[in-house]
Every structure is written in C-alpha cells, then in structure tokens.
Amino acid sequence: SPNPTVAAQDSGDSKARLSGNKIPRAVPPHKHKAAHLQTRLLTTQSFKDTRTKTHTPSPASPPATKEMAITLTSTEQDICDVLTKVVDRIQQRQPTEPRLVLRIAGGWVRDKLLGLESHDIDIAIDHMSGYDLAQHVNAYLKDTGHPVRTIAKISQNPERSKHLETATTSVLGLLVDFVNLRSETYNSDSRIPQIEFGTPLEDALRRDITINALFYNIETRQVEDFTGSGIDDLKSGIIRTPLEPFKTFSDDPLRVLRVLRFASRFDYSIDAQTSEAIMRPEIKKDLDAKISRERVGVELEKMAAGPHPLLSIQMILRFGLYENIFLTPPKEQWLGDQLSAGHALAESLTESVLRMLESSERDAVRPIIATMPASLFAAEDTQLRRSLILASYLYPYYGLEIKEKKKTVPVSHVVVRDGLKL
C-alpha cells in the first residue's frame, strides 16, 4: 500500500528541493528480505492471480477524482487564485480566443494526494507557450503590487531531458515552471522525440508512469486522471506505464531507470508487464545505445540518496541491469583477475552499510565508525551518506584495474568518471 511517510522529493533537475531540511533515515535494511522483494516485484504467475481489470485511457474530459483529494496550503491557494485571475484577464483582452486551461502536472499532484509537502509546481498550458504565460503572470503581479522576478527561459536540451522550452519565475515567493502540453513522436534510433503541442490526454500518455501523469485543474480545483489508472495505482502502490511498456521503454529507455527509482522511493510494486519489458534484451540494448551516461548517473544518484537505497540495488540486480548501469571498460583491458565476487556483493555491502548507519552504537562496528566523520551519521548530511551508498554499489569492482596510458587506474574510478559521469 502507499507509504505516505516518504519525504517528497522533486523530479525536476532544476528545482532539487525537499520537504523541510532533512531527508528521513532509510528503512532498516533487514526489513527488505527476499520474501518481501518477491512481493514487490510481481512475477507473471502472481500477477495473473492479483491483477485487477485492465486499465484503458480516459476520454478527453475525465471524471473528477473524488476519493482522493488535494488540500492546498494558503500559498498554493493564493497562487491558484493569481493564475485564475491571469486567465480571466487574458480572456477579457482576447474574447474571441478559447479560454486558457491551466493544470498543475506531475509530481506535485502525486505527492499532494499522498499527503506530502511539495514545492515543485509545474503549470501545463493547453494553447500558449510557457514563456508567454509567464510574461502575463509577471505583468499581473506588477499591476497588483506584488514583487516580480526575471523570467528564466530554459531552452530545449533533449540530452538533459528538456524536450520543450520552459519558463520559470517566482509567483508569491515560490518558483513555478510554465510549459505547454505536448505530444511526442519517436524514431527508432534516438530517445529525443519530435515535439508538438498536445492535448491533456496526449501529455498524460507520454509520461513515464501513471502516478506521475495526474493533473490538478486550477479552474475546477479537481484532480484529473486521463490515463484512467493513475489514482488506482497510487492507492494500490503499483508502478506501471501509461501505454504498453515495451513501446514506452523503446521510445525512451531512461524511463526504465525512472520506474526503478520511483518503485524504490515509494516502496511500490512494479506490475508484471512492466517488469517483463524491463528484462527484454532489446530494452537493455537501447539503454546502452540511446541514453547519455550523464542521465544514467543522475538517476542512480537519486536512488542512492532516496529512502530505500538497498531496494534500489536489489531491483537493479534482479532485473539484470547492473552492467548496463555501471558501465565498465572492455574486460579485455582489465589487469589481473576478472570479477570474482559477483555483482551480488553490491547488495550485501549496501545492506551492511545501512545497518551500520542505523545502529552506530553496536560494538561490532565501532572500530569502523571511529574512522569516519561523525557527520556521516547525521540524516541531514546527505552527500556523505550518498557517497558511501554509491561506493557500496561499486564494491564488486574493488581491486580491479586497467591501464590508461602510463597509469594504472581502478575500474571503479573509470565507471564513475565515464560510465556515470559523476
């Protein structure tokens, strides 16, 4: 079932903010036993027994969701009021044009429905560019005596998953992103799509997973579920793609890593069809060929910094993605013995490290703890904790080296430098 205790984290790279100043401590690793993992990664057989009816996309105007509701903070209420008044003003000045419909999209909707705080407000616009709307918003704020900040225009950068121009400005003290609804068309050789203005349904269906495809309509103040399964999956703790998963991952293999990250972050199950698609050799080949190593590194860092880093490496191993993620130089370049301990050592060491961090008073680990900075054990010192987790993930390569020019370099160093770009 959904775990509302997980702290809200931003999905966007440009606004990496957290709810409050601390990241909660990880769930003790001993709770992630093999039997538990088997329940989280549904096998085909168990899925046949437990799966509910097949979900189909909703029509263009889905029914409002009544069972799960969003409670706005006073600041969020004021922002929605400002945006509604901006739309009113635009309509008054352009009466022959269709009225703009503004929706808050994605992670903010998901987190608010789970009762989590979120500051990651992305406004999806139906027939205006994000920059144009941001200019209207700033003009309204200025005319009504509110502080105005310069609009940051973030250009398209497909290699960093910025497929469409985005505008960011401050609205009543909170950064807000503005971008138009879009549809995406892919070719077989690249994860960089052709972008066009789209409908809410098209925008929802092109997203990575159903729980990230929800909208909050600012005009009606209601949640909209155009995929027809986002709310149910949020209630049931299920990760699935809005469209057929093999096609979804073929179009953009980065979505594989996002599936793993959100499944581990919320401790949700991955449905069987999605699991089967992840394990397809064609998808793993596309993951190697289409995705920049920087993007792989970004997703892995977020997993390591998340609330369940052990579950992250367990899923990476169970899906056979270790070598796709931790990309090494060709093995014929390695010096000395080949990998002997096996990738599973990453899981064992991660579990041991987390247990050490969660039980720093145990006599057995005091000699090790004494050699480490005291700040490593503070929940707010996320960089040190994350670095230790990443080192645990890479431990299977410990002691292995390659020759680079006249230097001998550890394989793990090359993986971090070239395979993850960290």
What's the whole-number mean pLDDT along residues 273-298?
Answer: 95
> What backbone phi and psi angles, to 5 degrees, belong to 271?
-70, 160
- Supply the pLDDT for residue 268: 97
Q: What does the pLDDT look like over 168-190, one tens digit per residue?
A: 999 999 999 999 998 877 666 66
Q: What does the pLDDT look like over 276-285, one tens digit per residue?
A: 999 999 999 9
What's the whole-number mean pLDDT along residues 51-62?
Answer: 40
> Which residue would you say has higher pLDDT here, 29 or 260?
260
**Range among 195-199, 279-283, 353-357 rated most confident:** 279-283
Q: Tell me, what amino acid is at 19?
A: S
What's the whole-number mean pLDDT along residues 151-175?
Answer: 76
Please give the helix or strand (H or E) that residue 182 lies within, else none.
strand 182-185
- Supply the pLDDT for residue 16: 33
Percent of the chain whose pLDDT exceeds 90: 59
Does pLDDT of 60 surpass 70? no
> Which residue would you say has higher pLDDT here, 20 or 331?
331
Neighbour-count burial for 210-226, b at 16+ CB within 10 Å, e otherwise: bbbbbbbbbeeebbbbb
Q: What does the pLDDT look like over 305-349, one tens digit per residue?
A: 999 999 999 999 999 999 999 999 888 888 876 665 688 889 998
Contacts 24+ apart (CB under 8 A), 228-232: 228/55, 228/56, 228/57, 228/58, 228/62, 229/55, 230/204, 231/65, 231/67, 231/68, 231/113, 232/52, 232/55
Residue with tokens 């409050």: 20
- How does residue 154 score in pLDDT terms, banded at 50, 70 and 90? confident
What's the whole-number mean pLDDT along residues 361-387?
Answer: 61
- Supply the pLDDT for residue 347: 93
Percent of the chain whose pLDDT exceeds 70: 73
Tokens of 41: 């990664």
- How does residue 35 score in pLDDT terms, banded at 50, 70 and 90? very low
- Supply the pLDDT for residue 6: 41
What's the whole-number mean pLDDT along residues 134-145?
Answer: 97
> What backbone phi and psi angles, to 5 degrees, belong to 221?
60, 40
Least confident among 51-60, 263-272, 290-299, 384-393: 51-60
Residue with tokens 């440009």: 14
- Supply the pLDDT for residue 333: 86
- Supply the pLDDT for residue 56: 42
- Supply the pLDDT for residue 183: 81
In terms of residues, how long is the chain? 422
Cα–Cα distance measured from residue 308 to residue 311, given in angstroms and rounded to the nearest whole number: 5
DSSP 8-state code for residue 238: E
What's the whole-number mean pLDDT along residues 270-281?
Answer: 97
Whole-number Cα distances in Å, 171 to 88, 175, 293, 418: 17, 6, 35, 40
Tokens of 301: 């860092």
What's the whole-number mean pLDDT along residues 369-398?
Answer: 74
- How does residue 156 score in pLDDT terms, banded at 50, 70 and 90? low
Neighbour-count burial for 355-368, b at 16+ CB within 10 Å, e otherwise: bbbeeeeeeebeee
Specify the 3-state DSSP secondary structure of 59.
coil
**Range among 62-71, 79-88, 336-345 rated most confident:** 79-88
Q: Give the Cβ contact number of residue 144 at 10 Å.
A: 9
Does pLDDT of 362 surpass 60? no
What's the whole-number mean pLDDT along residues 280-300?
Answer: 94
What's the whole-number mean pLDDT along residues 83-92?
Answer: 98
- How does residue 20 score in pLDDT terms, banded at 50, 70 and 90? very low
Concatenating the DSSP letter of every residue in 122-179 gives EEEESSS-HHHHHHHHHHHHHHTT----PPEEE--BGGGTB-S-EEEEEETTEEEEEE
Cα–Cα distance measured from residue 17 to residue 169, given in angstroms and rounded to the nearest whole number: 16
